[in-house]
Amino acid sequence: MSASSDHRNKYKRRGAILVYVAASGVVLLGFAALAVDAGRLYLGKTELQVAADAAALAGAMELLHERRLHGEGELLTSFQLVRQRAAAVAGSNPVLGIGPQIDYNPGNAPDGDLVIGYLPHLYNTGEPMTFSDVTEFNAVKVRVRRDATYNGPVALMFARILGIDTADLVAEATAAFQYGIVGFRVRSETATAGLIPFALRETFWDTLTGTLAGQNSVFEDNWAYDPQTGEVTPGPDGLPEINLYPGSGDDQLPPGNFGTVDIGGANNATADIERQLLYGVSAEDLEYHGGELSLADGPFTLTGDTGLSAGMADALEAIVGQSRTIPLFSAASDTGNNALFTIVKFTGVRIMHVDLTGAMTRKCVVVQPGIAMDDAAISGGDGTTSENVYHSPILVR
């Protein structure tokens, strides 16, 4: 082989190598381009899930509005507002620069993008949502999409060289709150439980709720709560009130006792009750009861306290307009500090009016039914252990 022939062969080999390297560069560039699209889709999917999660939680929180206290008619209005709230929150969480719109699904079709229903067991992901009793609805499912139907598919940049111009994305989330609260346990993340040391006879509460249902007219409606401002003013709001102190009838409480109970050590001082009114029951208070107050194993007893002093008025007045939980008792024995209350249920109330001086009227601590959300609440009951008391909504699916 001549020198010139050998030179030409070397050139050809070099040329082949250069072509191979060039081709490899195109492949690598193609992979890099596809990686850009994959990253864009990953970001879109993440943002879509954030929007769905936020919308579901907002819808479930709206479902716990005070409107649910006013009966089935108000619930239907509430469902419309749940849909509006969920849709607004979804739209405020952009997905690749677009505030996503969702289908309101006003007919509440089970396969719709926004569904309201009932989940009896929140963590059973295979259990379907049911719709037979609107008064039990506790869950909101939201589907957020970027496809040809809603919000447009995601445009791709480099995948077009493979003939793929767009991609569809979808995310779902379900948020719900617990029914069947059986008691309270304070953990580090909850700090306190919104339980106050008042006891009310269960039959009196049943009469109050009977008035609300139109079954009687025993209790009056003299105070109004505004959910928008949190203010309480004179006048009706559709929810009757009951007086906790000194009770709403001659047989409400045992002699020498005015309805306060000891949560924590026996014979709580005024300072203890004031603290519990303002900030809730602490883990230390519940340690006296074995770490929790619970109806899981049936009724339990609380000892009585002699009553409220005028010095507690400031604490009570500070929580007017706020919701708390009180225990209901079926029976009470003995008198004064020795009274024993058999606790059979918990119920949510809202503090409406306080007068412990008796200057204007007789002494009173007036409450009405109220929604009490409490992350220290223990679930697991069958619905007979609590009323108007719920754990805060959480994402369950």
Domain boundaries in the chain?
A: 3-176, 183-392
Which pLDDT belongs to residue 308? Answer: 67
List the alpha helices (DSSP H) in the chain. Answer: 3-63, 72-91, 202-212, 270-279, 283-287, 313-318
Omega of the bond prior to 246 within 30 degrees of 0, cis?
yes
Whole-number Å distance between alpha carbons of 320 and 32: 62
Largest Cα–Cα separation, the chain: 126
* DSSP structure class, residue 68: G
What pLDDT does 20 receive? 36
CA distance 328 to 296: 15
The phi, psi pair for 292, rounded to 5°, reads: -160, 160
Please give the pLDDT value at position 15.
41
> Which ranges in 179-310 belong to alpha helices (H)?
202-212, 270-279, 283-287
User: How do residues 326-339 score in pLDDT, each as one tens digit?
Assistant: 999 998 887 667 78
Nearest of 352, 126, 348, 330 to residue 231 by alpha carbon: 352
pLDDT at residue 16, as a whole number:
40
In one letter, which amino acid is 249?
A: G
Q: What's the pLDDT at 3?
A: 53
Tokens of 322: 């706020």
The SS3 call for residue 162 is helix
What residues contact residue 41 under an 8 Å CB cut-off, 6+ apart? 154, 167, 169
Neighbours of 36 (CB within 10 A): 13
Q: Which residues pair with 294 in a beta bridge?
A: 183
pTM of the model: 0.81
Closest CA to 283 of 397, 213, 151, 192: 192
- What pLDDT score was predicted for residue 11? 41
Tokens of 24: 């490899």
Q: Which residues of the chain have pLDDT under 70?
A: 1-34, 212-217, 246-259, 267, 306-308, 335-336, 358-361
Q: Scanning the structure block, which residue is given the tokens 């869950």?
A: 139
User: What is the model's pLDDT at position 45?
Assistant: 95
Tokens 């997905």, residue?
Answer: 95
